[in-house]
Amino acid sequence: NASRLKGKTVLLTGASGGIGAATAILFAKAGSNIILLARREEALAKVAAQCKAAHQEAGVKEGGKFHTVQLDVSDKQQVNNLWSKVPADLRDVDILVNNAGFVLGVEHVGDIAETDIESMFGTNVFGLITMTQLVVKDFKKRQSGHVINIGSIAGKEPYAGGSIYTATKHAVHAFTASMMRELVNTPIRTTEIQPGMVETEFSIVRYRGDESAAKKVYEGFDPLTAEDIAEEIVWTASRPPHVNIAELYVLPVNQA
Ligand code: NDP
């Protein structure tokens, strides 16, 4: 029931495009406030404007505060400095969505650039953990909150050319599942969403900007859309308080 999201404050990483942008718009429609984080400031501002329009169109009274912060989740200092950039009335976050993440390249072990390894782990793992540590501290004080981490089919199914990315997503799985066990018997919920193939800029990033290589991935395939995963995220967040969707594995029908 999306009405449970009215007036809630969502902290969302990777909000400037793809799954994150679609998720922001759905939370906006449901009457939530959102702190939108990503590195590209202009793209973030566009998504915030789309949120405003979606919120107005939905005609909900609650929520409607959309605040952007240009931030690289892999930069610990920037993350630890976050609250100084967020208005006081948005600092009590109800839902953290750790969505920022990417895969860079398809190289095999031995040929992978050190910088690619560091940047994938820096964002997908350390960024997600730093954000979670920051927010869960407050969740524990307030005895409420929900952490939703975006894992992947790559956190279940290793593949050739994906050693580092699959290692990062296996780490997201282990981290989220351990945290869930730590928080059992508290009202604080933890969820891992594991999408299969979704058509976003993800593939363009993987192929380092080569759009035709990126497009080929989806040829003869009917991938999920960013909105499909956004719907699952918002659905998960809107379950009754005693229901914890621990994991949600979402695939297009032609992937297994
Ligand atoms: P996109 O490339 O479209 O979006 C990724 C988002 O993450 C962008 O908003 C990007 O914004 C942001 N981002 C990346 N690095 C950082 C960083 N260091 N700090 C802050 N923000 C960052 O990809 P998707 O929407 O598809 O990906 C979202 C999540 O879904 C990722 O975790 C991905 O691993 C996961 N996923 C995707 C699948 C797919 O097939 N697309 C399948 C399974 C999982 P900016 O560049 O402005 O920082």
Compute and round to an integer the Cα radius of gyration of the chain. 17
State which of 16, 116, 192, 249 you would mutate to test the pocket of ligand 1, scoring each by most atoms of that ligand within 8 A of its C-beta. 16
Q: Which atom of ligand 1 is nearest to the CA of 74?
A: 18
pLDDT tens track for 201-239: 999 999 999 999 999 999 989 999 999 999 999 999 999
Q: Which of 56-65, 86-95, 140-149, 212-221 has the lowest mean pLDDT?
A: 212-221
The amino acid at residue 193 is I
Q: 18-29 and 226-237 are packed helices; what angle lies between their axes, rounded to 10 degrees?
A: 50
Under 8 Å between Cβ of 225 and 198: yes
pLDDT of res. 104? 97
Q: Whose CA is nearest to atom 8 of ligand 1?
A: 14
- DSSP-based helix, strand, coil % in the chain, nearest 5: 45, 15, 35
Whether the CA torsion 161, 158, 182, 237 is positive or negative: it is positive
Q: Give the chain's mean pLDDT.
A: 97
| Nearest to 242, CA basis, from 184, 192, 194 | 184
Question: What SS3 state is found at 40?
Answer: coil
Distance of CA 103 from the midpoint of ligand 1 (Å): 9
User: Which structure tokens are listed for 165?
Assistant: 């990315």
Q: Which helix (H) or strand (E) holds 204?
A: helix 202-206
**Residue range 88-107: mean pLDDT, rounded:** 98
Residue 7 has pLDDT above 80, yes or no: yes
Q: Which residues surround ligand 1 with Cβ inside 6 Å?
A: 13-14, 16-20, 37-40, 43, 72-74, 99-102, 123, 127, 150, 152, 195, 197-198, 200-202, 205, 226
Residue whose pair of structure tokens reads 């730093």 in the numeric block:
130
Q: Which atom of ligand 1 is nearest to the CA of 44?
A: 47
1 pLDDT above the threshold of 80:
no
State the catalytic residues.
165, 169
- The type of residue at 216 is K
Q: Give the domains, in start order, of the chain with CATH numbers.
A: 2-250 (3.40.50.720)
Token digits for 18? 């793809």
127, pLDDT greater than 80: yes
Banded pLDDT at 116 (limits 50, 70, 90):
very high
The rounded distance, in Å, linking the Cα atoms of 165 and 207 is 13
Can you tell me the mean pLDDT for 58-63? 96
Is this prediction's pTM over 0.95?
Answer: yes
CA atoms in the 13 A half-sphere facing the CB of 34: 37
Q: How confident is the model at residue 2 (pLDDT cuts 50, 70, 90)?
A: confident
CB 86 within 8 A of CB 12: no
How many angstroms is it from 18 CA to the middle of ligand 1?
7
As a whole number, mean pLDDT of residues 82-99 equals 98
| E-only strand ranges, 27-168 | 33-38, 66-70, 95-98, 146-150
Predicted-assembly ipTM surpassing the 0.95 threshold? yes
75 by Cβ neighbours in 10 Å (0-12 / 13-18 / 19+) ranks as middle
